[in-house]
A and B are shown apart, each in its own frame.
Chain A
Amino acid sequence: MSDSSAAGHGQSSSPTGSDETPGSLTTADGTPLKVSLRRAESRARRKAFFLVLPLLAFLLITFAIPIGQMISRSVRNPEVADYLPKTAAAIQAWDGQEVPPEAVFAAMADDMKVGLENRTLGRAAARINREIPGARSTVLGTARDLDEMSPPYKEAFIAEDEDWENLEFWSLIKRETRTITPVYYLLAFDYEYSPQGEIVERPESYQVYRMLFLRTAWMSLLITSLCILLGYPIAHLLATLPLKSSNLLMILVLLPFWTSLLVRTSAWIVLLQQQGVLNDTLVWLGVIDDNNRIRMIYNQIGTIIAMTHILLPFMILPLYSVMKTIPPSYMRAARSLGATQLRAFVTVYMPLTIPGLAAGVLLVFILAIGYYITPALVGGDTGIFISNLIAQNMTGSTAQLRLAAALATILLLAVLVLYWAFNKLVGVDRLKFG
């Protein structure tokens, strides 16, 4: 990559060399030096481009395109427009004041016939049912009896099921004819459309995502702080101990780093569960009663402990690599100039470790807010993160893939904003990752 950017500079300075003044330098075969240099450069640039081409293609196919698809999926809403096309056209003229005219019902009957034939009616019904529970039975039930009905359909439908008189149902259909919708982003922030089409907060018993975004943020912050608290002294020890003992210590840091994530998480389950090692020991020591074992896992505590342990190496390693380069003579100089140990540490040593600390914070925090498997295994109900609800919206029988896409897009944007803010504050070029 650096090759091609250097070549880019060469090209930007070239316009000045286009005029051939007499006596300018030429190569052995008579072409001006500048021209031949430019040729050589562009050849090198092309070569460099072909070398990175596989990587570019790989990134495009496995990264950029899926993310683009995810973002476009989060605003798409094709069901009603695609599967009830005639109704969608007929209802545009409806003013929403009273039950729609016969033309809309007749269009609905036509769409139902086609939808039953292609078995696509269920998809439209499923979409409507998400907003109005029970609407699915209204639509599918009426469609099944359509053979026995005759026009006018308005009376026939209402005789079949009085929900066809429900104005909310028809306003929803009208709103759903838009193929691009912000509704999944509204849901992601616990808002929704009211039956009148205004944006309102969802009922309290349905609110969850804002709270989870906040929880993900504060728990990640807490985990990052714990990693600093635990990692800083260890990194300092690693950097200052004699080589022999620091190597041993380094292995102790790296060994869990290389161990499978699942193994480490399961190990915490064995240690912390109510019938686990730690509770057994406490009962045996008589600290707690056998019937009042402490619940340390399947809640927030479990997530915090396990994730701090798992992410700790990402803090220690960048810190260590920076601390290793700080000459011990700096601290000695500060002491000899009369600073106390604390003052020398705070004013000389600490500022020098900032690039490593900042890199560690960035790594740990960004890894933490997107973490999935550990909260899923040890988080129980109160210790889960936003990523767990994204996953829940992707599986299960009532999966809402588009809501999952909207939540994931928000998470992605949050990470980008964080990175940008961090860059402003600390400067990413100053970071040292190891």
Chain B
Amino acid sequence: MRTTAKSVSLAMAASVVALAAAQAQDKSLTIVSWGGAYTESQDKAYHQPFAEQTGTKILQEDKSAQALAGIRSQVEAGNVTWDVVDMLQADAKRACDEGLIMEIPADEWLAPGPNGEPASEDFIEGTLGDCFVPQILYATMFAYDTEAFPDGGPQTIADIWDTEKFPGTRALQNIPQKNLEWALIADGVSPDEVYDVLATQEGQDRAFEKLGEIRDNVIWWSEGAQPPQMLADGEATIATAYNGRIFNAQVNEDQPFEIMWDGQMFEVDGWVVPVDTGNEELIKEYLKFATDTQRLADQAKYISYAPARKSSVPLIGKHAELGIDMMPHMPTADGNFDNAVQFNTDFWADYGDSLEERFNAWLAQ
């Protein structure tokens, strides 16, 4: 009995020492992102070159879908394990207001543009936040399986609601954001007025009613990797998706998908840094490296998201492996951007709580 107790306590002591030793290896960064093709593009364009240059060990977690809740609980518990987190602009705004993430003085922390212009002038207007460094501009839009529509697929948001002419299941994301905007556009609201209408009780009722019209033809997705899979499996003929995911399915998996750019909703996505990481110097070094002009342009070699720096756009070239021109696949390209709607992060910061509650109730009923 005694000897067992001794060996158990020895083993425990040994594991504690091992754990402490692992944590003492200071040069490591835990980076949280969205997973799939997107994380891969970051890995190739940012993480690998940075690790080579500095000898930093980069640990990756695919938790961005729960980024705000995750940072909130880590900060509240006083145990912050994430160093750099990839987050949506709307969530970053809330986290910044709540003091959960660090303020990032852009001109001080980030690399200047190629002609020496300060970083704050190089990023696309309105994308830099007090605590937020944008990386990419991406679109959420409808895509369809061309094999399901031999006579041509849907061309407008109104077509999506036309289940007679374009039969089949639609895969939509299980959140109110963007779905309610599209419902109003399908109901005839002009894109510039969508958010004014959605701020009123009548407008909200109208959006939910319109969404209800196609509800029997809808299956819901929650992770970005699902919609291309649902289209490939034939579970859906039309799906909302992030444009990079559809691009990946088109060129890497030869899927017969087509993007409908009409009514695309674009927003920016970028880096934030939780407070109290205790790893500030290394994080600063990483952010300066990973958001400079060349690195942002490099990411566009792997995925069709538009870089957030103006100076990166002329550097967009061909896909790293397939050699196809990337520019026509960008949401910001001419022709793709004509009927684009900017996702309004301020609106959702104010109305997100109540609309999400109502949406969840609507969904479960």
Q: Is B98 in the interface zone, CB < 8 Å from A?
A: yes
Which A residues are in CB contact (< 8 Å) with B361? 205-208
Q: Is B354 in the interface zone, CB < 8 Å from A?
A: yes
| A125 x B97 contact (CB < 8 A) | yes
Closest to B67 in A: A397
From known contacts A274-B235, A394-B69, A395-B66, infer whether A384 and B364 are also in contact, taking CB-CB under 8 Å: yes
User: A398 to B177, alpha carbons, bound, how many Å?
Assistant: 12
| A389 x B360 contact (CB < 8 A) | yes
Q: Is A211 in the interface zone, CB < 8 Å from B?
A: yes
Question: What 1/0 flags go to B173-198 for Cβ under 8 Å of A?
Answer: 01000000000000000000000000
Question: What 1/0 flags go to B337-352 for Cβ under 8 Å of A?
Answer: 0000000001001111
CB within 8 Å of A: which B318-365 residues: 346, 349-354, 356-358, 360-365
Q: Is A381 in the interface zone, CB < 8 Å from B?
A: yes
Question: What 1/0 flags go to A363-405 for Cβ under 8 Å of B?
Answer: 0000000000000000011101000010010111111010000
CB within 8 Å of B: which A286-304 residues: 291, 298
From known contacts A126-B94, A134-B350, infer whether A206 and B358 are also in contact, taking CB-CB under 8 Å: yes
Q: Which among B91, B235, B352, B364 is the interface contact of A381 at CB below 8 angstroms?
A: B364
| B351 x A396 contact (CB < 8 A) | no
| A208 x B365 contact (CB < 8 A) | yes
| B346 x A137 contact (CB < 8 A) | yes
| B97 x A140 contact (CB < 8 A) | yes
| A122 x B96 contact (CB < 8 A) | yes
| A398 x B353 contact (CB < 8 A) | yes
Q: How extensive is the interface on chain A, given as a class?
A: 35 or more
User: A206 to B94, alpha carbons, bound, how many Å?
Assistant: 24
| B235 x A273 contact (CB < 8 A) | yes
| B99 x A120 contact (CB < 8 A) | yes
B169 to chain A, nearest CB (A): 8
| B98 x A275 contact (CB < 8 A) | no
Q: Is A123 in the interface zone, CB < 8 Å from B?
A: yes
Which A residues are in CB contact (< 8 Å) with B199? 134
Which B residues are in CB contact (< 8 Å) with A126? 94, 97-98
User: A6 to B358, alpha carbons, bound, how many Å?
Assistant: 57
CB within 8 Å of A: which B244-284 residues: none
Q: Is B219 in the interface zone, CB < 8 Å from A?
A: yes
User: A399 to B360, alpha carbons, bound, how many Å?
Assistant: 12
User: A136 to B351, alpha carbons, bound, how many Å?
Assistant: 9
Q: Is B233 in the interface zone, CB < 8 Å from A?
A: yes
User: A398 to B88, alpha carbons, bound, how many Å?
Assistant: 13
Q: Which among A137, A206, A298 is the interface contact of B357 at CB below 8 angstroms?
A: A206
Q: Which among A137, A211, A395 is the interface contact of B365 at CB below 8 angstroms?
A: A211
| B362 x A205 contact (CB < 8 A) | yes
Q: Which among A125, A208, A275, A298 is the interface contact of B360 at CB below 8 angstroms?
A: A208
From known contacts A211-B365, A384-B364, infer whether A122 and B353 are also in contact, taking CB-CB under 8 Å: no
Which B residues are in CB contact (< 8 Å) with A430? none
Which B residues are in CB contact (< 8 Å) with A39? none
Q: Is B220 in the interface zone, CB < 8 Å from A?
A: yes
A430 to chain B, nearest CB (A): 37
From known contacts A208-B364, A396-B69, infer whether A133 and B353 are also in contact, taking CB-CB under 8 Å: yes
A354 to chain B, nearest CB (A): 37
| A399 x B351 contact (CB < 8 A) | no
| A122 x B98 contact (CB < 8 A) | yes
Which A residues are in CB contact (< 8 Å) with B57? none
Q: Taking each of A121, A122, A129, A397, which has the highest tally of chain B beta carbons within 10 Å of its own beta carbon? A: A397
User: A120 to B220, alpha carbons, bound, how many Å?
Assistant: 36
| B356 x A396 contact (CB < 8 A) | yes
| A212 x B69 contact (CB < 8 A) | no
Q: Which among A125, A273, A382, A397 is the interface contact of B69 at CB below 8 angstroms?
A: A397
From known contacts A381-B363, A399-B72, infer whether A137 and B356 are also in contact, taking CB-CB under 8 Å: no
Closest to B215 in A: A381
From known contacts A120-B99, A122-B96, A125-B97, infer whether A275 and B234 are also in contact, taking CB-CB under 8 Å: yes
Which A residues are in CB contact (< 8 Å) with B85? none
| A136 x B235 contact (CB < 8 A) | no
User: A130 to B357, alpha carbons, bound, how many Å?
Assistant: 10
Which B residues are in CB contact (< 8 Å) with A397? 67-69, 88, 90-91, 94, 352
Which B residues are in CB contact (< 8 Å) with A136? 97, 349-350
Closest to A203 in B: B358
Which B residues are in CB contact (< 8 Å) with A394? 69
Q: Is B208 in the interface zone, CB < 8 Å from A?
A: yes
| A399 x B68 contact (CB < 8 A) | yes
| B360 x A119 contact (CB < 8 A) | no
From known contacts A136-B349, A381-B364, infer whether A298 and B219 are also in contact, taking CB-CB under 8 Å: yes
A373 to chain B, nearest CB (A): 14
Which A residues are in CB contact (< 8 Å) with B346? 137
Q: Taking each of A381, A392, A394, which has the highest tally of chain B beta carbons within 10 Å of its own beta carbon? A: A381
User: A273 to B229, alpha carbons, bound, how many Å?
Assistant: 13
| B69 x A395 contact (CB < 8 A) | yes
Q: Taking each of A123, A130, A274, A396, which has the highest tally of chain B beta carbons within 10 Å of its own beta carbon? A: A396
| B351 x A134 contact (CB < 8 A) | yes
Q: Is A16 in the interface zone, CB < 8 Å from B?
A: no
| B353 x A130 contact (CB < 8 A) | yes
Q: Is A18 in the interface zone, CB < 8 Å from B?
A: no
Closest 4 CB pairs of A and B: A122-B97, A119-B99, A208-B361, A122-B98
**A and B contact pairs by CB, cutoff 8 A, 9 listed:** A133-B351, A133-B353, A133-B354, A134-B351, A205-B208, A205-B362, A207-B361, A208-B365, A389-B360
Q: A119-B96, A380-B220, A398-B356 provided; 6 other pairs, C-beta below 8 A?
A: A120-B99, A129-B350, A137-B350, A208-B361, A395-B69, A401-B73
Chain A residues close to B by CB (< 8 Å)? 118-123, 125-126, 129-130, 133-134, 136-137, 140, 205-208, 211-212, 273-275, 291, 298, 380-382, 384, 389, 392, 394-399, 401
